[in-house]
Structures are given as structure tokens and as C-alpha cells.
């Protein structure tokens, strides 16, 4: 009997604890917990989703987008990964239209929490990102001031 077999029933506990660690901004624990969950079930895409959320929290957007796309390649119907992908794209300030398209799509999710997340992100894009000056405009203002 493999030692990992003793912990198969704890997979969801490791995963949930990883998401809690992300929310507590404890990257070291979150990574350890997601890696443990991934060792138990290597084909489960929720671990990759966790890695993506860690990177989104760190604003490492390129890696977050990569992780969310990996999840969607394995599970194209994963609305949570789509919503976080839309959020990550919105924060790049260069893919606003793409992020809005993804977030509008996830607003039709059957999960009310994903609907709420997508709606909040769309409101943020409309009220903040679209009204923010471009990086070039900020540089011009600094040179003037």
C-alpha cells in the first residue's frame, strides 16, 4: 500500500485548506497544500486553479493567465477558471474587451457565486479600469509636473 493512498480521502481538505491559505495571504502554505493535493490526484484541475489564484493575488498576471488557460484546456466548462481568467486579463489593461467578453459569458453560469464575481469584476472594469489614464498618459503627466 502506497503512503499516499492513506490520504486520498483528505484530498478535498488539502484543497480547501490551500484556498483558505490563499485568502490568508499565506503563499508558502497554499503552495504546499496544493502540491499535496496534486500528488494525491494529479489529474484534478483544481490544484492548477489554486496556483492561478496564488499568482493572481501576487499580480503575476502572465503566470495566472497561463494557469487558468491550463485549467480551461482540461475543463472548458470550468466557469470559475473563466471568471478568474477574465479578472486577470482585465488587470493587464491591454485585454479589457477580452476580459469583458469572458466575464459576460460567466455571468450566465449556474453558480450564483460565479455570477456575482463576474458582475463585480465587470463593474470594476467599467468604473475603474476604463476610467484610468493610460500608462503613457501617466508618464506625460509626470514629465509636466
Residues 121 and 119: their CA atoms lie apart, in Å, by: 5
CA 138 to chain CA centroid, nearest Å: 28
To the nearest 10°, report the CA torsion of 117, 120, 122, 126.
Answer: -160
- Does the structure show a pLDDT above 70 at 3? yes
Q: Taking residues 90-94, report their average pLDDT.
A: 86
Closest CA to 35 of 25, 46, 20, 24: 46
Render pLDDT for 27-61 as a digit per residue (tens, 0 to 9): 999 999 999 999 999 999 999 999 999 999 999 99
Q: Give dist(CA 53, CA 60) in Å, integer.
A: 10
Give pLDDT, residue 24.
Answer: 95
pLDDT of residue 135 exceeding 80, the answer is no
In the chain, % of residues over pLDDT 70: 96
The residue that leads in pLDDT, 131 or 75, is 75
Q: E strands of 32-104, at which residues?
A: none
- State mean pLDDT over 108-124: 94
Residue 1: its pLDDT value, please?
59
The pLDDT score that the predictor gives to residue 96 is 85
How high is the pLDDT of residue 142? Answer: 78
Cell 488539502 belongs to which residue? 14
Per residue in 55-90, pLDDT (tens digit) is: 999 999 999 999 999 999 999 999 999 999 999 999
For the purposes of burial, counting CB atoms within 10 Å of the CB of 27, is it exposed (0-12), middle (13-18) or buried (19 or more)?
middle
Question: What is the reported pTM?
Answer: 0.84
Amino acid at each position: 500500500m502506497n503512503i499516499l493512498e492513506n490520504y486520498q480521502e483528505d484530498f478535498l481538505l488539502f484543497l480547501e485548506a490551500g484556498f483558505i491559505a490563499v485568502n490568508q495571504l499565506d503563499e508558502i502554505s497554499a503552495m504546499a497544500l496544493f502540491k499535496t493535493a496534486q500528488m494525491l490526484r494529479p489529474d484534478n484541475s483544481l490544484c492548477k486553479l489554486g496556483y492561478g489564484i496564488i499568482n493572481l493575488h501576487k499580480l503575476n498576471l502572465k503566470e495566472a493567465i497561463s494557469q487558468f488557460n491550463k485549467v480551461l484546456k482540461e475543463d472548458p466548462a470550468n466557469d470559475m477558471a473563466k471568471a478568474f481568467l477574465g479578472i486577470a486579463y482585465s488587470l493587464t489593461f491591454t485585454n479589457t474587451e477580452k476580459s469583458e467578453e469572458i466575464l459576460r459569458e460567466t455571468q450566465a453560469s449556474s453558480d450564483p457565486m460565479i455570477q456575482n464575481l463576474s458582475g463585480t469584476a465587470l463593474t470594476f472594469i467599467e468604473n475603474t479600469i476604463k476610467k484610468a489614464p493610460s500608462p503613457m498618459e501617466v508618464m506625460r503627466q509626470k514629465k509636466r509636473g
